[in-house]
Amino acid sequence: MTSLQAWPRADDLRREIRDHGRALLPGLLSRDEAARVASATSSLPTRRAYRGNTGVTFDSQALGPGSELYDLFQSAPMVCTARAGLGLPEGAPVQRLIGWIHRYKVGEYIPPHRDVSGDIQLVVSLHQPPPENGGTLFVADVGGLHPVPLSTGDALLFVARELTHYSVALVPTIDNPRPVKVVAVGRYHF
Ligand SMILES: [Fe+2]
């Protein structure tokens, strides 16, 4: 399923995570694979996720063992990638893996936050609309605020407990009046 052309070297991942808290994995999925998975998961049970007292909501779907995306997060290449990012020894067991999908529509976004648990997180873009429709992910570190330009199929490995992150609201355009954005997330506890 994964189609990453040039898998990042473990020491490069470690350096990126150590220095910046994040590492981009372009083309983790092909656009076709991402579209297929986004479509295949659209009928999973969905709830509205609420973000504190911000009043912001969006659709959220839990991913469990046996689902294709959970199995991807649990696969050896993904676990090795997560381990490498944290500088953990080969074979360090995953204590817990939680997976979910977020689906955003016009006006929806995730407000600034840091995650409360997990050692490292993998975010996979299953559908990213054109930039003019918004939805861009931002992360903040000591160096300031940085856009993370994820295209459909790209992934970001990052330390979600340490980096404040958020996305901007989706906006309609004439060409794309009802944009949606779909991301899958795997949260690893080692
Ligand atoms: Fe988060």
- Percent with pLDDT over 70 in the chain: 96
> How far, in Å, is the centroid of ligand 1 from the Cα of 160?
6
Give the distance (Å) from ligand 1 centre to CA of residue 117.
10
Residue 42: its pLDDT value, please?
A: 92
> pLDDT tier at 10 (50, 70, 90 boundaries)?
confident
Q: CA of 33: how far to CAs of 63, 65, 69, 130, 153, in Å?
A: 17, 19, 11, 18, 8
pLDDT at 49: 86
Task: Give distance in angstroms: CA of 174 to centre of ligand 1.
Answer: 30
Is 70 exceeded by the pLDDT of residue 65?
yes
Please answer whether residues 52 and 112 qualify as being in contact, where contact means their C-beta atoms are separated by less than 8 angstroms.
Answer: no
For residue 11, report the distance from its CA to the centre of ligand 1, in Å: 25
CA of 92 to the centre of ligand 1 (A): 24
Ligand 1 center from residue 82 Cα (angstroms): 16
What span, in angstroms and rounded, lies between the C-alpha atoms of 82 and 1?
18
3 state DSSP class of 16: helix
**96 Cα to the center of ligand 1, angstroms:** 17
CATH class of 10-132+158-189: mainly beta
What's the CA gap between 33 and 166, in Å, rounded?
25
Asked whether the predicted pLDDT for residue 50 surpasses 80, the reply is no
131 has pLDDT over 90: yes
Does residue 158 surpass a pLDDT of 70? Answer: yes
CA of 121 to the centre of ligand 1 (A): 9
Interval 128-136 mean pLDDT: 97
Q: What is the distance between the alpha carbons of residues 128 and 151, in angstroms, rounded to a whole number?
A: 6
Q: Which amino acid is at 152?
A: T
Determine contact, residues 122/70, Cβ cutoff 8 Å.
no
Q: Domain map of the chain by residue range?
A: 10-132+158-189
Residue type, 23: A
Distance of CA 144 from the midpoint of ligand 1 (Å): 18
Answer yes or no: is pLDDT of 9 > 90.
no
Q: How many angstroms is it from 114 CA to the middle of ligand 1?
A: 6
Least confident of 10-24, 53-67, 168-182: 53-67
| Residue 111: partners with Cβ closer than 8 Å, 6 or more residues away | 51, 52, 54, 56, 166
Distance (angstroms) between ligand 1 centre and the Cα of 9 equals: 25
Q: What is the pLDDT of residue 187?
A: 98
pLDDT classification of 4: cutoffs 50, 70, 90? low
